[in-house]
């Protein structure tokens, strides 16, 4: 008998929606099917405008939320059509993060659970981060709880690194509570700098970055940012690491390809620094998220930590592209079961909590 839930994830890269159907009838859960729906250009532009604070009129923001909700529901319905008549128990929709300010007590993810539930006829869970923040936590990252549930091993200590727009890591070490935090920029600066100089959404396989050379003085200046040495729990977003932040470190004389190479090094070295900050002696690092497809970035990470074996979560049974969407399917499953979805050791919340608002069709 299946115990199927769907997870919907649209990350800070603003490229589109990942949908994953996951069966929780057995452990570990099974990724049954997936669907990817790219954002139309107009929707992508609107999301980026709200995310960078350049278009904050409430009517426009809420209209964007409605448009996103319909896009999420359509994506979910296309995945449901692939499932051969199996009806999911729930949909977990992360929504589109447009502001993340836990220090001020809030985080904003656009996307209406009510609209998704009505358009799909499936119970829908949204707003996963607010309860954790209400309990004094960062509300992020949430995926370490899923990593702990499905990737923890009694045979070896592991680090899971999710490289989305923002990168985060999870330390799964025997005998210790799970540790997790945002390490800093993952793909976001690489993507935005690429778009500023090329047509297209991202630097395929890091080919453009490979044409440049790392500017060590620029890299040192960026790594000197207080965020990288800040103790966990910590989380960040595009409101902090963006092109304005980058321009504050540039003289203007740099070659664009050299800046791209340096941003690749920034992602790699900040991840390595974060692993070192955990104080753990780990032999295996598993990468997931969009950054797992950037071969130049993976090679850079391996060069920075040559004694550690680096692979992707495919080796653990889940394609790296679908780990985050699977995590929100798991969070929806946790909500239905009235089980906690956060880890206090990761977010800093005062206690474990059931996460998410449930909307019935």
Judge if 24 and 170 occupy the same domain. no
Q: How confident is the model at residue 87 (pLDDT cuts 50, 70, 90)?
A: very high
What is the pLDDT at residue 272? 96
Q: Are residues 267 and 285 in the same domain?
A: yes
Q: Are residues 327 and 307 in the same domain?
A: no
User: The CATH number of the domain where 254 resides is what?
Assistant: 3.30.420.40
Q: Assign residue 309 a region: left if phi > 0, alpha if psi is -120 to 50, beta otherwise?
A: beta
Residue 171 and residue 123 share a domain: no
- Rounded CA separation 140/347 (Å): 6
User: Are 331 and 287 members of one domain?
Assistant: no
* Same structural domain, 290 and 339: no
Residue 1's pLDDT is: 60
pTM (predicted TM-score): 0.92
* CA pair distance 264, 219, nearest whole angstrom: 10
For the stretch 95-107, pLDDT in tens is: 999 999 999 999 9
pLDDT at 57: 85
Q: Is the pLDDT assigned to residue 206 strictly greater than 70?
A: yes
Q: Computed from CA positions of residues 266, 269, 275, 276, in that sequence, does the dihedral angle turn out positive or negative?
A: negative
170 & 95 share domain = no
- Does the pLDDT at position 12 exceed 80? no
Domain of residue 14 covers 4-138+321-359
Within this chain, do residues 128 and 159 fall inside the same structural domain, yes or no?
Answer: no
Tell me how many domains the chain contains: 2
Same-domain status, 9 and 130 = yes
Quote the CA–CA distance of 325 and 289 in Å, as a whole number: 10
Q: Contact at 8 Å (CB) between 73 and 116? A: yes
- Higher confidence at residue 92 or residue 45? 92
Asked if 69 and 162 sit in the same domain, the reply is no
91: tokens are: 């949909």
Q: Would you call 313 helix, strand, or coil by DSSP?
A: helix
Q: What is the mean pLDDT of the chain?
A: 95
Residues 178, 231 within the same domain: yes
């Amino acid at each position: 008998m299946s115990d199927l839930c769907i997870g919907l994830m649209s990350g800070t890269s603003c490229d589109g929606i990942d949908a994953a159907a996951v069966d929780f009838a057995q452990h570990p859960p099974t990724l049954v099917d997936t669907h990817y729906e790219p954002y139309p250009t107009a929707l992508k532009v609107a999301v980026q405008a709200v995310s960078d604070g350049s278009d904050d009129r409430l009517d426009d923001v809420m209209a964007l939320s409605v448009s996103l909700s319909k896009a999420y529901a359509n994506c979910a319905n296309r995945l449901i059509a692939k499932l051969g008549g199996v009806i999911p128990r729930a949909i977990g929709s992360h929504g589109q993060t447009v502001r993340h300010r836990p220090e001020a007590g809030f985080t904003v993810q656009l996307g209406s659970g009510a609209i998704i539930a009505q358009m799909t006829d499936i119970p829908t869970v949204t707003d996963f981060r607010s309860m954790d923040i209400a309990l004094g936590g960062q509300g992020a990252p949430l995926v370490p709880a899923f990593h702990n549930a499905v990737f923890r091993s009694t045979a070896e200590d592991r680090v899971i690194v999710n490289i989305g727009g923002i990168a985060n890591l999870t330390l799964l070490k025997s005998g210790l509570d799970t540790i997790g935090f945002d390490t800093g920029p993952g793909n976001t600066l690489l993507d935005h700098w690429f778009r500023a100089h090329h047509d297209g959404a991202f630097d395929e396989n890091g080919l453009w970055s490979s044409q440049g050379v790392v500017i060590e003085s620029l890299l040192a200046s960026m790594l000197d940012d207080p965020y990288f040495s800040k103790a966990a729990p910590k989380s960040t977003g595009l409101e902090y690491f963006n092109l304005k932040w980058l321009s504050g470190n540039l003289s203007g004389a740099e070659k664009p390809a050299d800046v791209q190479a340096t941003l690749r090094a920034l992602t790699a070295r900040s991840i390595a620094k974060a692993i070192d900050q955990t104080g753990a002696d780990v032999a295996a690092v598993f990468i997931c998220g969009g950054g797992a497809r950037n071969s130049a970035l993976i090679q850079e990470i391996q060069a920075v930590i040559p004694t550690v074996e680096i692979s992707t979560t495919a080796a653990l049974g889940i394609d790296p592209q679908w780990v985050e969407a699977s995590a929100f399917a798991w969070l929806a499953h946790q909500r239905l079961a009235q089980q906690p979805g956060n880890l206090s050791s990761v977010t800093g919340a005062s206690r474990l909590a059931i996460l998410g608002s449930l909307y019935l069709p």
